[in-house]
Structures are given as C-alpha cells and as structure tokens.
Amino acid sequence: MLIAGNWKMYKWPSETAAFCRGLVAPEGVDIVVCPPFTSIDEAVPTGLTVYAQNVHWDAEGAFTGEISAEMLLDAGARGTLVGHSERRQHFCETDETAWRRAEHALEVGLGVIFCVGESEEEREAGETEAVLRRQLELVRAHENLVLAYEPVWAIGTGKTATPQIAEEAHALIKELVGVPVLYGGSVKPENAEDLLSQPSVDGALVGGASLELDSFNAICETAARIRS
C-alpha cells in the first residue's frame, strides 16, 4: 500500500530533514513525500522516496518557473505528482497538458502520481463518471504510473468522500486504466481506516495531515494494519 504526502507550499528546507527522519515506514507500506522544489535536496538524503509536485514536458527550454524531469532525476527525486486539482484550478492545467507532463516523466524514468477528480457541481449534476472518463481519455497504463482520485470538493474543505463513493470511483478508474489508485481528499487518521479498507483503494494521497508527523505516521500505521 502506498501513502504519499503532498506538502504543497509548506515546509522550508530547514524543517524537512528532521521531519523525514521522523517518519516510520511500517512493513507493507511504501511512503512517498512530495516537498516543495526547494526542499528536495534536504529530503533525498533521508532515504525516503521523494516526489516533486509538478514537472514540465520538455527536458529544457525557455519555460520560466518550470522544472524538467531530467532536473528532478539529477536532484535525486524518484517521481512527481501531475495534474493535481490545484494545478488545474489555479494554473490552467488541462487534461492534455497534464498527460504531456506525465508521459515525458514516465519516459525518462520517473514515477508519476496522476490526479483526477470531479468538482462538487459536477458530482451534484451526476457527471462524475463522464468527468473521470474525460480526464483519463489520454492516459495509458505504465508500470511506474499510479492514479489518485481526489474529488475536488474534498480538497482542503474538511469534507471526505464516503467509503462507498470512494470505492465506486476507484473501481471505475481501475476499469479505465489498470494501475493502482490512491484516494486523496481530506484523509485523516480518523477516517483512514474506513477509506483504506475499500477493496479498490490502494493507498492515499494525503494533504494537510501529511504536514504533522504524528498524524502522517498514524495514517501509515493504519495502512499497515489493513494490509496485514
């Protein structure tokens, strides 16, 4: 089971190494941390699997503010998030550009956690399946690809999909692209067991709860208990 922590724009380099050394990977659980670019150099030497939060589709070029997969590999990162709802919402990421990023990262040897999910308006309109099908239309299975279902209405809102909603979405996603699928959306120690116990849920992409050592370790321990 995979538990990934997306730190978003939190944790300075000075905080990173000590935090990573405090994480404990229980047997049967793979831990990934996704720090800001500036903290990758501090996270890598701790021995944890480190993913970036975004990547560009070209190896180099006049793309101010972007970073390439090749640069991430050289820095010691082993993968990257792609297509997170915040990238789609605030930075005009599209299904096409997200997959371009993911495809190049996979080609050069990075792992990818590719994020999909519907908005609250889309769910209320009964469009969840159509949205997921559209977001995954270009996506092709790869041995280093993991998908993450993150309903937008549950990102940073405190709302969480019910285990049934999560299971239904994960089952559909795995039918469309046969790779592991993580659940992301206000995962906390209090709800981790119910979510991770679902048969089609292969782990979690954790946001706010990954910033606190005790809560992130608790989620990892729950995952290990379920896996055993």
Residues marked as catalytic: 84, 150
Q: Which residues of 162-197 are buried (b: 16+ CB within 10 A; e: fewer)?
A: ebebbbbbbebbbebbebbbbbbbbbbbebbeebbe
Whether residue 157 contacts residue 186, with contact meaning beta carbons closer than 8 Å, is answered with yes
Whether residue 183 contacts residue 154, with contact meaning beta carbons closer than 8 Å, is answered with no
Strand 203-206 with 2-6, pairing: parallel
The span from the first CA to the last CA of the chain, in angstroms, equals: 10
Q: Which two tokens stand for residue 52?
A: 């970036």
DSSP character at residue 50: E
Residues 40 and 13: their CA atoms lie apart, in Å, by: 8
Other Cβ atoms closer than 10 A to 78:
17
